[in-house]
Structure 1
């Protein structure tokens, strides 16, 4: 796979969810890497993106900022991530859904804090984690940072291995909306949706094909064809299947910063020449 630098990125995260850079720091990085368009896609929140969207033109430094978020949802009992772009920020179906998601995430964060405080016999973990969360909703990476600050662990990796990773005490499950509900909200809010990192879910080819067909049938627009961790075989397969279904391609680095240093903003495989690109549709609006 030929990985190249692009002038846009439709998949990246800030401290509003599980990234290590603040929105302003991410914008500075985008400028330094020569990007001209950026969609911040924090998990179930637009608080990081909103802070930049509301900034004056000079503070945006020539970057075209596209409204974005990454929604968690359920399909056949599996948790999926759907990227959403270009939706109305206020008074929309997406805004309502985001408020529900925020409440769910706050409840989960308090449960995580309570479990870890009891386990480690520490206090004020929630308040410490909250200081790292731009959106005010601590996620597991923020708890990892707080545990480091409190010297309960020696590193972020250790926090996940001991307490926050899959199956550990801090891995608290959460109810997510159905795929159809998310797609409907995005469409009603004049936005576009794309399946994020399609091969991360470890589905069989036939099941992934069924998922993509359902996304299309429910009003979805695209699939993330160009992602940093995709291999050449997957790249060819997803192009072909997306083309058959009439899905466009989205593309992005899934940048998280220090949490995943091997991913670089604006750096991912070349776009598939056989498919229409969601970035072109979005830039026509921004």
Structure 2
């Protein structure tokens, strides 16, 4: 069992690295990537911003905690790139990461948002353009392209988690068509970047997985666990791996992305 997308109290997770690693061992997870948020440009992380020095000390603690345990633990981050797919972290941070997930958490620019109106063509066109740049750009894994879409400015107050996921599914159906997925696969193929099989939202849609598999794209199973109840919950991902004989991404200690 593997889980390549997990958060701790270093960013917005509920449990400490020690608690996460100990639980992962108890659950029988063989390979784990702790990928806390690290992005000074993300407006949603105002309470969780950290320095490179703090991140490196966090990595040291993780590696010390994992030592001698029957589990391989990778140190990484989840971050968003600029609109051209470039990472905005320093070389010291880059070289310290075993795994970098680039997730489209926000889109640059101003758009005519209205609460409750989710089909904003200009916004989703910009999202698709940025996603293609991210697919071709730096990092190892493209994080949750169809789950946790950046819909915050459009949401009606009080929208539930389930409601948000239904909105994301509707947007995916409306905008992410076969031609776009084909183009996305071409960019992933050029970069060698993996596409995330996202456990928390059970995305992407199955036909997207099948289409990308035909393009020989790598996939990365990640629960995106912030709470322990979904740590390692990648059952759907592994079912898809077996059904379509998917090729899985494998992190490497000390691997530097291009």
> TM-score scaled to structure 2, two decimals?
0.54
Residue 80 (structure 2) pairs with residue 72 (structure 1): yes
8 Å contact kept, 2:17–2:62: no
Q: Shift of residue 229 of structure 1?
A: 2.0
Query: Secondary structure in 1 aligned to 2:141?
Result: strand
Q: Give the match's secondary structure for 1:29.
A: helix
Structure 1 residue corresponding to 2:194, chosen from 213, 218, 222: 222
Kindly state the Cα deviation for residue 74 of structure 1 after the two structures are TM-superposed: 4.7
| Distance in structure 1 (CA, Å) of the matches to 2:77 and 2:9 | 13
SS of equivalent residue, structure 1 residue 246: coil
Contact 2:37 2:78 in 1 (8 A): yes
Please give the secondary structure, in 1, of the residue aligned with 2:209.
Answer: helix
Q: Secondary structure at the match of 2:146?
A: helix
User: In 1, Cα distance between the equivalents of 2:196 and 2:208?
Assistant: 9
Deviation (angstroms), 1:227: 2.4
2:197 and 2:220 in contact (8 A); partners too: yes
Structure 2 distance, partners of 1:278, 1:209, is 20
Partner of 1:9: 3
Q: Do the aligned partners of residues 181 and 49 (structure 1) sit closer, same or farther apart at CA in structure 2, a change above 3 Å counting?
A: farther
CA contact (8 A) 1:42 1:69 kept: yes
Partner of 1:151: none
- SS of residue matched to 2:80: strand
**1:1-286 mapped onto 2 (5 Å cutoff):** 7-44=1-38, 47=55, 50-55=59-64, 58=67, 61-75=69-83, 90=92, 92=94, 180=133, 184-186=137-139, 193-200=140-147, 201=149, 202-203=171-172, 204-206=175-177, 207-217=180-190, 219-225=191-197, 227-230=199-202, 234-235=205-206, 237-257=207-227, 263-268=229-234, 269=236, 270-271=238-239, 272-273=241-242, 274-279=245-250, 282=252
Structure 2 CA distance for partners of 1:181 and 1:205, relative to 1, 3 Å: closer
Deviating above 4 A after TM superposition, structure 1's stretches of 4 or more consecutive aligned residues are 91-95, 178-185
Q: 1:65 to 1:20 in 2, by over 3 A?
A: same
Q: CA deviation at 1:49?
A: 5.3
Structure 1 gap segments, 5+ residues each: 1-6, 83-88, 99-166, 168-177, 187-192
1:205 CA displacement: 2.5
> In structure 2, what is the Cα distance between the partners aligned to 1:208 and 1:94?
32
SS of the aligned residue for 1:255 comes to coil
1:132: which partner in 2? none
C-alpha separation in 2, matches of 1:65 and 1:184: 25
Question: How many angstroms does 1:75 deviate by?
Answer: 4.8
Between the two proteins, the alignment pairs up a number of residues equal to: 175
Q: What RMSD over aligned residues (CA atoms) do the two structures have, in Å?
A: 3.9
CA distance in 2, matches of 1:213, 1:24: 39
Structure-2 residue corresponding to 1:141? none
Larger Rg: 1
Change (3 A) 1:74 1:57: closer
Structure 2: tracts of 5 or more residues without a match: 40-51, 101-114, 116-129, 150-170
